[in-house]
Amino acid sequence: MRIFTFLFLVFSITVFSQKNRNQLDVVSNIEAKVIAMKPIGNNSLAKNLMPFYGFGFGGNLMTPINFGIGLDYSQLFSNVHYDQKNLYGNLGSPRITQIDAFLTHRENISEDFMVEEMAGFSFYRYSSLYIDEKNRSLKDQAMGFNLGGKAIYTLDGPQQVFVAGKINFYYGNTYNENPEIKKYYSNSTFLSLSLGYRYNF
């Protein structure tokens, strides 16, 4: 996480210093979005949990050559399938805090429409409450990477709306001597769809 933040700050300082020297038209923006995310595959999160829903915020810096860097922060909430609660360890109210740092590339299709491709790294903090002990929770941290794309439409001036699709890979830290069991409870893949609003400045 500290590495992502450091790289983002270094890139920001470098870009803005170049802008001051060369008058480059660097574009920055902030975003807000709603998200639906589904774990898939043969793993505990996919088999035992319902889809996640939540919200997120983000920001991007884009250079005149249409390459940039971005950072997203999301909060996502789910529930355990009713018939899987005992199998899932008597846990409920799963929650994921997700931070994505990525490189992005923009393609201008027309004056009002553009697409962006994204690839980067992800940090996850997972928590789930014990059903019988509401003050206790199971917590885990994971790393991974992400790939995605975004279709953007310009409304008026600096305002834009977008739809984005992303695939995230999740690699957790559950310990088990059996590698198959460890993989089942540690790893997952997430497919997500988001709708959002962007403001450029």
Question: Structure pTM?
Answer: 0.83
Nearest to 118 by CA among 78, 165, 155, 75: 165
Distances (CA, A) of 121 to 42, 87, 138, 176, 180: 22, 31, 24, 25, 25
Task: Write out the two tokens for 82.
Answer: 């009713």
pLDDT at 12: 52
Query: pLDDT tens track of the chain, all 201 residues?
Result: 555 555 455 455 554 444 444 445 788 999 999 999 999 999 999 998 999 999 999 999 999 999 999 999 999 999 988 776 655 556 778 999 999 999 999 999 999 999 999 999 999 999 988 766 666 778 889 999 999 999 999 998 899 999 999 999 999 988 888 999 899 989 999 999 999 999 998
pLDDT at 2: 53
Domains of the chain: 2-200 (2.40.160.20)
Q: Please name the amino acid found at residue 79.
A: N
pLDDT at 89: 57
Question: Is the separation of the CB atoms in 119 and 153 below 8 Å?
Answer: no
pLDDT at 21: 43
Residues whose CB falls within 8 Å of the CB of residue 85, separated by 6 or more in sequence, listed in order: 91, 92, 131
Nearest to 35 by CA among 5, 77, 65: 77
